[in-house]
Amino acid sequence: MTPGSATSMSWDVHGLTLTGLSWGDPAATPVLCLHGWMDNAASFAVLGPLLEDYYVVAPDLTGHGQSDRRSADATYQIWDDLPEVLGIVEALGWDQFNLVGHSRGAIIASLFAATFPERVKHLVMLDAVGPQPVAEDRFPEQMRKFLEDKGRLLARDNRVFPSVEAAVASRETAGLSAAAARLIAERNLSPCEGGCTWTMDPRLQGASAVKLTAGQVNATLGALVMPTLLLLAREGLGGRHSELESMARQSIPGLQLDNVPGGHHFHMESSAGAVAARVKEFMQT
């Protein structure tokens, strides 16, 4: 499904067809928006049109929405998305752009911005900061989880719902409003025998083979030398994990941080107008 005000997009990157949505004038200042885990480009269908005077592009990250899944031998670690994000940016012809990420997308955005700081004009992170570090001595345990999950999830089919309404209701139970759940769910569904099923790759639910250490996470956040705005949701991850704020304040130079009302998907809720105004104000600095 394409939300009414959006334009559908697609790119061929490294043999994968990646899809997305855009809002605004392609000649305007560019903004790339990266969605969260198990979401898709439609999670920016509320915020995107509110960012007037900008050209907003939101891809379906690989294995989400209408984008291709990766091959059976590939993985879904957060850095695996970086070559595809770079490929999309290159296809768009953007030398420099503003970068917005929500949840897992914010973590991927922080990695990209740390790697290519000269290309990211402003960085906005919504209810997430960087990867959660894992102690080095847990490496064997982490690798075992990954290996066990990979074989199990390769053989798993996604849940079948008797109707779109049932699928939307399943997303509402995770705390999404009915309107937000419908936007995300409808883009994540395809028809099948017995009703409809998720398009997402089940391997997205598996453990990563490797987790970054605390030193690597600090190095990543310390490399965010561009103006950086972090919006933490009071009823979202920001409210439940106070360490996110302290980690960001200690490690990110020139950080602006606001605690905002709403749940984890606050950029799709009633506060979206205020979020858009804050983001626009920040990107004009």
Q: Can you tell me which residue has the tokens 């994968």?
A: 16
Q: Is 270 a catalytic residue?
A: no
How far apart are alpha carbons 74 and 77 in whole angstroms? 9
Q: Count CB-CB contacts under 10 A for residue 91.
A: 14
Which residues, in sequence order, are CB contacts of 39 under 8 Å at separation 6+? 64, 102, 103, 105, 184, 188
The one catalytic residue in 43, 67, 103, 110 is: 103
Cβ-based neighbours of 284, under 8 Å, separated by 6 or more: none
Token digits of residue 112: 């990209």
Report the C-alpha gap between 17 and 68 in whole angstroms.
6
Contact predicate 271/244, CB 8 Å: no
Select from 32, 11, 16 the least CA-distant residue to 91: 11
Angstrom distance (rounded) from CA 234 to CA 242: 10
The CB-side HSE value for 97 (13 A sphere, CA atoms) comes to 25
State the angle between helix axes of 164-172 and 178-187 in degrees (0 to 180), rounded to the nearest 10. Answer: 120
Neighbours of 153 (CB within 10 A): 16
Q: Which residues are catalytic?
A: 103
